[in-house]
Structure 1
Amino acid sequence: MPVEFLSDEEAAAYGRYVGAPTRAELEKMFFLDDADRKLIGRRRGDQHRLGFALQLTTARFVGRFLPDPLEVPAEVIDYLADQLGVADVSPIKQYTERRQTQFDHQDEIKKAYGLREFSAVEAEFTAWVDARAWNTGDGKKSIFVDGVSWLRTTRCCCRG
């Protein structure tokens, strides 16, 4: 997708972490409720419980799964580890050793939280963008920003 209307910094920031989340963002988007803990609790080993929690909360915060699920600020890992009672976060590096585990976890997260791939909403999104451009006269950047919000509202979460 052409993104000439975004600055290089804006394009680079899309769909990933840009610095550490604020304390308020951590408390809102990375708090693990009972449903989260139940899903996470099915994992064996701290690396899998923490890795699953990272993918779950990253999808919630960023709106997509990252190509490298460990490419998150240390503050996120520490915040989740504290909630899960994981004292040593160093085993998290083992989470990416078996790539299929990441995909299995993503599929389970999508199913549990009703998240959909972009392909499932693409036609609806295209119609929304067309209508928005036709009816509002808003610029590309405004439509892009609101489009990202629309995708989150419709529970769209893409793989990295």
Structure 2
Amino acid sequence: MAIFLVQHGKSLSKDIDPEKGLSEEGISETERIATVAKGYDVHVSRIRHSGKKRARQTAEIFSAALEPENGIQQSSGMGPLDDVVAFADTITSEDDIMFVGHLPFMEKLASYLITGMADRPVFKCQNSGILCLDKSPGTQSWVIKWSLMPNIG
């Protein structure tokens, strides 16, 4: 089982959209990354998102490209400041799941899964980027398998 951690696409400012939906750039970058992931035959069985507009829109773009058989679900506990330890306990090893959320939550979740400590940074997320974690063979330890980011600079 792999999990895919995604920081939502770039969003509009609150004065333009009080719900901070995706900007044109955020839509474009998310579509580009989703298309590349599809080209690499990334398999996702389900996409879970925080429920915030920008995360839902990002999840919908990835869903259109990757066609997860179990669709998209809103999940509690994925807000920017939610408890990553409590959320990590909900992750099961039954299928490949994409989680679409926010900073600092996504980076802290990656840190916690890999090191057991949420405050030990292991990866710098980018809007619309994917971080794939998988279990290390023969152990229960999570490792970074690959990442796909909109920018390399």
TM-score with structure 1 setting the length: 0.32
Quick check: which has more Rg, 1 or 2? 1
If each structure's strand is expressed as a fraction of its own residues, which one has the higher value?
2
TM-score (ref. length: structure 2): 0.33
Q: Higher helix share goes to which structure?
A: 1
